[in-house]
Amino acid sequence: MGRLFLISLEGQIYRCKHCHTHLGHIDDIMSKAFHSRHGKAYLFDNIVNVTVGEKEERLMLTGLHTVVDIFCVGCGSIVGWKYEAAYEKSQKYKEGKFILERYQVLGPNGNGYIPAQVPQVLSDTDNTDEG
């Protein structure tokens, strides 16, 4: 196996909760109002230190999307997904963007997210609540 080169980020960052690999900077968050199967999720414009899985079609609450799961390069954990294509006109803004599941990352203050209850449906809804 080759040598692993990681990108280090400065400032307020999100890290993999398993191995603490840097994933994204707080300034790259586009929305904090997304949800995933494990609870809250953030939409990022850019992230680092991930690899992508196979493309697949997923039917989410906002319609059909082509996505790839994203994996931490440090430990291989699934940390979210990347939108490759959106088929609804209103969802096109997601193309090329990333979802980091709060359940899989540590925030800038070092805290992890503990979901109150685990929803059973995939939801990528962008609510107007920015909390």
pTM above 0.85, yes or no: no
Full residue range of the structural domain in which residue 60 is found = 13-106
The mean pLDDT value of the chain amounts to 87
**Residue 4 resides in a domain:** no
CB 73 within 8 A of CB 4: yes
Establish if 130 belongs to a structural domain.
no
Is residue 129 included in any domain, yes or no?
no
Residue 117 is assigned to a structural domain of this protein: no
CATH of the domain at 46: 2.170.150.20
- Output 6-13 pairs: Cβ under 8 A, ≥24 positions apart: 6/49, 6/73, 6/74, 7/48, 7/49, 9/48, 12/108, 13/108
Mean pLDDT score, 63-68: 96
% residues pLDDT > 90 (the chain): 72
